[in-house]
Amino acid sequence: MASQRTFFRTVIEIEVLSAVPFDPGSLDEIASDISDGECSGQWTVTKSEKVDGPTMAQLLMAQASSAEFFQLTDDGSDCDED
């Protein structure tokens, strides 16, 4: 049975202004370049939504993560607790 828990998906857009092409390797690098480096930047939440267990399981797998991150099976059911 699908999990009865509610999960949340938030999409964030980051705008970076720089004098040269910007090709970051990580979120930490983006934050550092904006806070302490030679870039200007801002971020905005572009989408925030509630999602059910099956949707969250699919979203996690699409990020190359595992549904078990939130104690879900691949079909979005709660993992059995032993």
Q: How many domains does the chain have?
A: 1
Phi then psi dihedrals of residue 78, to 5 deg: -70, 135
| Residue showing tokens 């998906």 | 9
Residue 43 in domain: yes
Range of the domain at 20: 7-70
For 44-70, what is each residue's pLDDT tens digit? 999 999 999 999 999 999 999 999 999
Please, which pLDDT band fits residue 82 given cuts at 50, 70 and 90? very low
Spatial distance between the Cα atoms of 46 and 21, rounded to a whole number of angstroms: 24
Residue 38 in domain: yes
Residue 48 in domain: yes
Q: Averaged over 4-22, what is the pLDDT?
A: 97
DSSP bridge partners of 13: 44
